[in-house]
Amino acid sequence: MRQMFLFSACLAGAFALSACEKDADETVERAFQDVNVIDESNLNDVMLTVADPNEAVNYFRNTLKEHPDRIDLQRGLAISLIRAKRNTEAVSAWKKTVALPGATSEDRTRLADAQIRTSDWDAAKATLNAIPPTHETHQRYRLEAMVADAGKDWKRADSFYEIAAGLTTRPAKIMNNWGYSKLTRGDYAEAERLFGEAIQQDRDLFTAKNNLVLARGAQRNYALPVIPMTQTEQAQLLHTLALTAVKQGDVKLGEGLLREAVATHPQHFEAASKALTALENG
């Protein structure tokens, strides 16, 4: 009887030990799964910010083969394609993203952005119209303004640019877009003002500096504005002014500005040198 009791006790202990081992294995497996999720999340973030864009595209495409319904991976692919300037592919990727469960208004806004990058203005307009009016972000209104610009609906464009600028603490790029809109309309003074505001917001935004010079040159003001600029930027802006002067028939002024650009640049300024040689040779 005593032997039977010991056998039963040992058997019960064996089952208990087996159950403990099983629980331990499951706990360890869950822990590894948690670590893998964290590691994958970190890797996704790295791919979206630090990694080479084309490398990120390959990473997300390969991972999607194993998890085709993961919206975070599809979104990562679309963002990476935009970073890699593969805009046509990005449109397709964003369309797949917005078709998945869990797609957001921000995803649709990014689809519209990709469509604008491929100059598909009608598709971008349709995408933006499908976004609920409650989704009020500076990016959404910036795109609305650009679509209105493309349709030459200036009043609507101005209204959207103003709203977009008021919805962000960093409106430099919006001011630059708005200024370029004014520049294309021939409102050079207002364009100059907006470019100046963009530079005040972001002194490193060279596009706004170049556009400011274009706006001044269009008014036959060929003096460089008093704005922050490096020596290389100064040479590049002089080059822009020179070409603007030449296009408006002020050839001698243009030649002088090109010589100044070549002399100002800290290295060999090939574009300005070639333009100057062409002018000197008639």
Verdict on whether the full-model pTM lies above 0.85: no
**How far apart, in Å, are the Cα atoms of 17 and each of 3, 11, 168?**
21, 10, 61
pLDDT in tens, 172-200: 999 999 999 999 999 999 999 999 999 99
Confidence check: pLDDT of 32 > 90: no
Would you call 171 helix, strand, or coil by DSSP?
A: coil
Counting Cα atoms < 13 Å in the Cβ hemisphere of 117 gives: 19
**Which CA distances in Å does 153 have to 19, 73, 74, 112, 141?**
72, 37, 34, 18, 14
Fold (topology level) of 34-103: 1.25.40
pLDDT-based confidence at 9, cuts 50/70/90? very low
pLDDT in tens, 74-126: 999 999 999 999 999 999 999 999 999 999 999 999 999 999 999 999 999 99
**Residue 51 pLDDT grade (very low, low, confident, very high; cuts 50, 70, 90):** confident
Q: What is the CA radius of gyration of the chain?
A: 30
Residue in the structure block whose two tokens are 């010079």? 213
Average pLDDT, the chain: 88
Q: What are phi and psi of 169, to 5 degrees?
A: -90, -5
Under the banding of pLDDT at 50, 70 and 90, the label for residue 6 is very low
Cβ-based neighbours of 142, under 8 Å, separated by 6 or more: 160, 161, 164, 173, 174, 177
pLDDT surpassing 50 at residue 33: no
For residue 33, which amino acid is it? Q
Per the listing, tokens 């030459």 go with: 152
Tell me the domain boundaries of the chain.
Answer: 34-103, 229-282
